[in-house]
Amino acid sequence: MAKRTQAQALTTTEVVKRQQENGTGGEKPQPKVEIIGVPAALLLAAETIVSKAPKDRDDLQGVMIHLKDTGIARIVAFDGFRIFIGSFEAKPAASWLKGGIMISREDLKPRVNMLLKVAESAVVVLAYAKGEPKATLMDMSQTMSFKVDCAEVKELPDYEQNIQVKTFTDLTDDASRTMRPEWEPVGFNSRHMKEVGDIAKILEGGMDKGLREKNGMTIRIFDQGNANAPRVFDFQGWDGAILIVGAMALPTTQFPLLTAKVLAPAVRGTVAALRAHATRWNEAAKEAKTDVEREACLAKAASFELRVAAVLARAPDKAQIAGPISGTDKPEAPAEAKADEAEAEAPAEVLMTVAERAAATRKKRAAARAAKVLH
């Protein structure tokens, strides 16, 4: 039997109708129970994160659910190093979503898995009344239900500050994007990388079979150009789910000896391309017509020379990496590196606007690619 869609689950209020009725006679009215449908895969993915949280951190022992925008709720999980965020539709939105609740991670995974086994849907029903110490997890047909410990969130943490977007905040004076040095490593703990794959597998299991990729879900990583900034992973096919993982600063930046030998051809090409840039800007400085233009050219050349020095500092065998320094024996830069040399042009281009330089760069790169295809 086909699984019910999330939209169908969200409108099935009859599931807890009897829980919403007030008491009769002299009985005190019961708190109003409100329900939402939650994608089980998001709960399981979030549980994967909090299950590794330190036991002495009470604030990390649960999965938080709250309303972010009109009709859009979020599941958020922390473990002190990683943050999982999963968005889903919640229409109509329960009133308790505005402040948010935190569901205990205790036995959350086995309970959700048991509900999936008996349910016809990949969505589980979450029922809760404001002020109560427990919520109810159940399947659509109310065949099975579980009470889970929960608490209302008193103050929503500003987890979005960990998404350190550098697009407009990390720019140079001429509005160019700053880049980390060439061949600078970024480290991730192998356990964390494995769990990125585990989360992808969980999310894929919550998708219709017809939407699944033959070779598994594609995981994308967003690099913010800063070695110390967190990396953001997203999961293709599941809109609104991301994982933020903090990058680790490595104790050394020098290549290990055997690794350096393997990478030597590629690193040598980088050095050659950077030196070609420096040479062009030095030549441009000689032909400059004004002191301002000359200083700008020399500053550009110096920046490329500094980048060469940084690359060589990482190499245990500098002679193998450095290659010829000047003259006719200077190694030829790779085709892609040549295409990137648009910013190292004649002095006239120093006075071009950022937009003009960007347009010229795009045009030259397109021409280089076309020539490469034709040949």
pLDDT in tens, 138-181: 998 888 999 999 999 887 777 777 665 544 445 555 555 555 66
Q: Is the pLDDT of residue 344 over 90?
A: no
Task: State the average pLDDT over residues 123-149.
Answer: 93
Closest C-alpha to 247, from 322, 332, 185, 199: 185
pLDDT surpasses 90 at 102: yes
Dist CA 231 CA 309 (whole Å): 27
SS (H, E, C) 86-131: EEEECCCCCHHHCCCEEEECCCHHHHHHHHHHHCCECEEEEEECCC
The pLDDT score that the predictor gives to residue 225 is: 63
Mean pLDDT throughout 313-337?
Answer: 55
Over residues 203-230, mean pLDDT: 83
**Quick one: pLDDT band at residue 371, thresholds 50, 70, 90?**
low
Range 18-29 average pLDDT? 51
The per-residue pLDDT for range 234-244, each reduced to its tens digit, is: 999 999 999 98
Q: How far apart are CA 86 and CA 72, in angstroms?
A: 10
Separation of alpha carbons 232 and 68, rounded Å: 19
For residue 19, is pLDDT > 60? no
Domain boundaries, the chain: 6-162, 163-253, 257-374
**12 with 211: CB under 8 angstroms?**
no
pLDDT computed for residue 201 by the predictor? 94
When comparing pLDDT for 263 and 335, which is higher?
263
Task: For residue 62, give the 3-state DSSP assignment.
Answer: strand
| Whether the predicted pLDDT of 277 surpasses 80 | yes
Residue 67's contacts (CB-CB under 8 Å, 6 or more residues apart) are 73, 74, 90, 93, 97, 98, 100
- 325-329 contacts at long range (C-beta below 8 A, 24 or more positions apart): 325/275, 326/279
CATH architecture of 6-162: Roll (3.10)
Q: Is 325's pLDDT higher than 50?
A: no
| CA-only gyration radius of the chain, Å | 28
Q: Residue 77 pairs with which residues in a beta bridge?
A: 84
pLDDT at 329: 39
> Which H or E element spans position 370?
helix 354-374
Under the banding of pLDDT at 50, 70 and 90, the label for residue 65 is very high
For the chain, the average pLDDT equals 77
Assign 272 to helix, strand or coil: helix
pLDDT(353) > 80:
no
pLDDT at res. 252? 61
Work out the average pLDDT over 117-146: 91
CB contact at 8 A, 281 and 304: yes
Who has greater pLDDT, 340 or 254?
254
For position 221, what pLDDT does the model report?
A: 86
Burial grade of 239 (CB within 10 A; 0-12, 13-18, 19 or more): exposed
| pLDDT above 90 for 232 | no
Q: Which residue has the tokens 């993982």?
A: 245
109 or 121, higher pLDDT:
109
Is 285 strand, coil or helix? helix
Distance of CA 191 to the CA centre of its chain: 17
Burial grade of 219 (CB within 10 A; 0-12, 13-18, 19 or more): middle
pTM: 0.67
Give the Cα separation of 325 and 330 in Å (integer). Answer: 6
How many whole angstroms separate alpha carbon 48 and alpha carbon 105?
10
Distant-in-sequence, close-in-space partners of 184: CB < 8 Å, separation ≥ 6:
227, 253
More reliable by pLDDT, 96 or 329: 96
